[in-house]
Amino acid sequence: MNHSLKPWNTFGMQRNANQIVRANDARQLLSTWQSATKNDEPVLILGEGSNVLFLDDFAGTVIVNRIMGIDVKESADYWHLHVGAGENWHHLVQYTLEKGMPGLENLALIPGCAGSSPIQNIGAYGIELKHVCDYVDCIELATGTTQRLTAQQCRFGYRDSIFKHEYQGRFVIVAVGLRLSKSWQPVLSYGDLACLDPATVTARHVFDAVCHMRMTRLPDPNVNGNAGSFFKNPVIGSEDAQTFLAGWPAAPHYPQADGSVKLAAGWLIDQCQLKGFSVGGAAVHRQQALVLINQNNATSDDVVQLAHQVRQRVGEKFNVWLEPEVRFIGRTGEVSAVEAIA
């Protein structure tokens, strides 16, 4: 158990695994998984480790998915991209803009790989993956059977998909199909993007604004380890929302199609004066309260205790209970993050 996971998680946690294998194609990934399983070893498949917290050493094999490649086809109205799961997401966004294919610019600088994007249904500044996803190619690990799921079959929800439920641990994503419309419409509803002029704005303007917002408000994982947004933005029912907004009319809130209302977790945490609050070596980021950082050689216990404190303070003040967006990984696999911090 001496293979360090520190380079493979953006939190920078010093944990080890029995074995780490970098898989460059589906066949290698599959054979590694099947041989570990045959030996009754736990297996974890990682992209760039940008959304995980290792609670312990991992008592098995970690497979790093590095299936690469970007293929582009055109139809009359769309660009169709077939993207290997191991491609870096931000590099993909840059690639599409350089090739004159807008549509992903709001999703710039989201850490991680393309193959992780459907699991979380990644989203930022008014766009989610589900708006541009055409299909997801995956392989059933036990049988090696390939399957192409349509976007509808992926059951995308807010930071959610089928890959967090019945497909979790059973299937691995090997490629993502994206469909970008040639009749581009800017999405300028969030943050500083609202200041841009819809009549003259270009996709490059949006990209630059998103990069500026993220770089000035979010910590650099190379300086302070982190996993981006630690908590999901809570979604509450319409009745609860009425009660909440009666007490906090200035709170940022975003009505959803089903009548529920999404709240801003960062705002809730900030209202509890928790920016800069620390437990051990872990702290709430001073610029963006939604991000927990590895400030000074934090242990995973420090992060868990900090997340517990944040959840308690917000829950007691607002009666809104935050849930982690980050996946918690124990000795043999993923564990319930909510239970870990409750």
Asked whether the beta carbons of 114 and 92 are under 8 A apart, the reply is: yes
CA gap 134, 81 in Å, rounded: 9
Type of residue found at 184 = W
The burial of 290, by beta-carbon neighbours within 10 Å (0-12 exposed, 13-18 middle, 19 or more buried), is given as buried
Query: What is the C-alpha separation between 111 and 88, in angstroms, rounded?
Result: 8
- List 116, 117, 161, 229, catalytic entry: 229
Active site residue 229: yes
Angle at 134 between CA 202 and CA 326, to 5 degrees: 85
Told to judge if 116 belongs to the known catalytic residues of this protein, a careful annotator would answer no
Catalytic residue of the set 48, 128, 325, 327: 325
Q: How far apart are CA 1 and CA 19, in angstroms?
A: 7
DSSP letter for each residue of 72-127: EEE-SSEEEEEEETTSBHHHHHHHHHHTT--S-GGGTT--SBGGGHHHHT-EETTE
* Catalytic-residue membership of 239: no
Cα separation of 88 and 245, whole Å?
A: 39
Catalytic residue among 50, 116, 117, 159: 159
Integer Cα distance of 221 and 26 in angstroms: 29
CA distance 81 to 15: 36
Task: Give the DSSP letter of residue 274.
Answer: -
- Give the catalytic positions in this structure: 159, 229, 325
